Amino acid sequence: MAILGAKTFQNYIDGEWLDAASGETFESTSPANGDTVGVFPKSGPEDVDRAVVAAKAASEEWRLVPAPKRGEVLFRFAQLLAEHKDDVTDLMTHEMGKVKAEAAGDVQEAIDMAYYMGGEGRRLFGQTTPSELRDKFQMSVRMPVGVVGAITPWNFPIAIPSWKTLPAIVCGNTVVFKPATDTPALGERYVELFAQAGLPKGVLNIVHGGGSDVGQRLVEHPDVPIITFTGSRETGVAVTKAAAENLKHVHLELGGKNAIIVMDDADLDLAVDGIVWSAFGTSGQRCTAASRVIVHEAVYDQLASRLVTRVEQMRLGPGWEDDTDVGPVINKGALDKIHSYTEIGEDEGAKLLTGGEVAEGNGLEKGFYYRPTVFGDVQSGMRIAQEEIFGPTTALIRVRSLDEAIAVSNGVKYGLSSSIFSGDVNKAFRAMRDLDTGITYINAGTIGAEVHLPFGGTKDTGNGHREAGQAALDVFTEWKSIYVDYSGKLQRAQIDTAE
Ligand code: NAD
């Protein structure tokens, strides 16, 4: 590939590729080795306004295109993305840093979502119900909301835009999309392929730039009735406040502090596989990453030692190399933050079992690599067991019973994903009922969602909405209830009665 050098990219607004109105630019660089991936427009409010005007105009026609026809564009997009899967995967290993298999999974998730949501073009089911009155028909139908502002993070740079734009578009909305400034090339590629699939101009627009310039204007724009946002809790709160003035719909997918429970009757080899995958996949930079492991005291020592042995065998390197297990973290700020949590953990009295340092040597110093880190003897109230680190660090917490394990798992402000390893079906069902998260896995780690089930979390992970599956349609449509009275006379609900 793939590395794009100093190629300059543009915004895509109303079917045209355009520079930022200011003419300013910013660079995207690889977290793996510092290479330049591309140069992108550093847009501002004027560019957002232009994109919103285009999206608003396009929505007048797009909402009238029959939904099955809208779905056909998604099918073509799915095919195109599948044809380009290898090059988009390669670009992701360079720009975002995740390892090849995971980058391919990120792209595959968008392909799956495009097929799933394309099929919604022939469903978008509403309801019909009988009326209390004679000669009266009633139904509910889904209506598009209008212009959707989609603001995304860098950690799933193809999948997350797909979770937002695909249901939005098949439901008849138009979109202004602001990707993260760490992954603009992937956002650009996504939009380019979607446009090639035959989207009419103005239906999907991309405006590159920072949160306070582009994101904030999108959130405040009076002609954008709905914001779909994935990112940190702090930004989610800021978005909610800024959107309140216009009473916008706000759909939030925020952070996590997910835990795997390992009971004394668990298959420990399987549990170690699940922990390694969930804690260190994507270098721990998944909202569903397992940054806590809650272990029954009877198997704690055995599990800790097996886990540390496995973790110390993991090879760090650029994501595009076949034998890399752990890629870089996204940028210098993330590296510093992750290391600061190692210091916090040591100060709090947790025991550093392995890792805990910036990785150097063999060229790793050119990028942002952190050794996979495991803390033992962690107390559930410690900051490393409460706060989202978003890096390759996990904390082992010892418990004596299932009740205690569930209480510890639930004892954080987030509620995204949870997991339990146990051979006992009764314990598994209690966990399914009592773990306060939007997603629970039994005998699997905390990561691995599929596109046809709802995705999202309880408590501070969001505000009650879900992406993916049928639930996404509730975000991107308004219900309309329609009553058709064909009796030819005035019939008053709750007052007149049918014979
Ligand atoms: P972030 O909050 O820093 O940024 C997310 C996006 O918001 C970026 O595009 C950013 O430019 C934009 N933004 C920043 N300030 C803004 C503002 N004032 N107004 C509007 N937009 C603004 O998050 P990040 O560091 O990119 O991503 C990591 C976070 O995302 C983690 O907390 C992670 O858990 C979370 N996440 C959640 C999910 C989920 O589905 N629950 C999925 C992936 C990531």
**Along the 499 residues of the chain, how does pLDDT read in single tens digits?**
445 557 999 999 999 999 999 999 999 999 999 999 999 999 999 999 999 999 999 999 999 999 999 999 999 999 999 999 999 999 999 999 999 999 999 999 999 999 999 999 999 999 999 999 999 999 999 999 999 999 999 999 999 999 999 999 999 999 999 999 999 999 999 999 999 999 999 999 999 999 999 999 999 999 999 999 999 999 999 999 999 999 999 999 999 999 999 999 999 999 999 999 999 999 999 999 999 999 999 999 999 999 999 999 999 999 999 999 999 999 999 999 999 999 999 999 999 999 999 999 999 999 999 999 999 999 999 999 999 999 999 999 999 999 999 999 999 999 999 999 999 999 999 999 999 999 999 999 999 999 999 999 999 999 999 999 999 999 999 999 999 999 999 999 999 988 7
- Find out whether 203 and 232 touch, Cβ atoms under 8 Å: no
Q: What is the predicted pLDDT for the residue at 2? A: 47
Question: Is the distance from CB of 435 to CB of 418 less than 8 angstroms?
Answer: yes
Residues with CB under 6 A from ligand 1: 151-156, 178, 180-181, 210-212, 215-216, 219, 230-232, 235, 238-239, 253-256, 287, 388, 390, 416, 461
Task: Please indicate, yes or no, whether residues 299 and 169 belong to a single structural domain of this protein.
Answer: no
Q: Which atom of ligand 1 is nearest to the CA of 179?
A: 9
* DSSP assignment of 91-147: HHHHHT---HHHHHHHHHHHHHHHHHHHHHTT----EEE--SSTTEEEEEEEEE-SE
Quickly tell me which residue has 């109105």 as its tokens.
21
Kindly state whether residues 235 and 299 are assigned to the same domain.
no
Rg (CA), the chain: 24
110 inside domain? yes
Total domain count, the chain: 2
Q: Which atom of ligand 1 is nearest the CA belonging to 180?
A: 9
Q: Determine the Cα–Cα distance for residues 478 and 473; give it in Å rounded to an integer.
A: 9
Q: Beta strands of 237-325 (E only): which ranges?
A: 249-253, 258-262, 290-296
Cα of 313 from ligand 1 centre, angstroms: 32
Q: Return the closest-CA partner of residue 15 out of 204, 216, 160.
A: 204
Nearest CA to ligand 1 atom 13: 211
Angle between helices 67-83 and 85-95 (to 10 degrees): 70
Q: Is residue 90 domain-shared with residue 195, that is, in the same domain? A: yes
The whole-angstrom separation of Cα 467 and Cα 453 is 9
Paired residues of 174 in beta bridges: 147
Question: Are 205 and 223 in the same domain?
Answer: yes
pLDDT of residue 499: 74
Nearest ligand 1 atom to the CA of 178 is 9
The residues assigned a catalytic role are 253, 287
Rounded CA gap, 202 and 191, in Å? 12
Residue nearest atom 1 in ligand 1 by C-alpha distance: 231
Statement to judge: residues 269 and 340 lie in one domain:
yes
Ligand 1 mean position to 255 CA, how many Å?
A: 9
Instruction: Work out whether the CA dihedral 331, 216, 150, 185 comes out positive or negative.
Output: negative
Name which residue sits closest to atom 23 of ligand 1, judged by CA.
Answer: 231
Whether 450 is in a domain gets the answer no
Residue 452 falls inside a structural domain? no
Give the CATH number, domain containing residue 300: 3.40.309.10
Atom of ligand 1 nearest to the CA of 334: 25
Cβ 320 vs Cβ 93: under 8 Å: yes
Q: How far is the CA of 422 from the centre of ligand 1 (A)?
A: 34
Peptide bond into 472 cis (omega under 30): no
Query: What is the C-alpha separation between 156 and 161, in angstroms, rounded?
Result: 8
Cα 153 to middle of ligand 1, angstroms: 5
Whether residues 250 and 262 fall in one domain = no
Tell me the residue range of the domain where 268 lies.
258-442
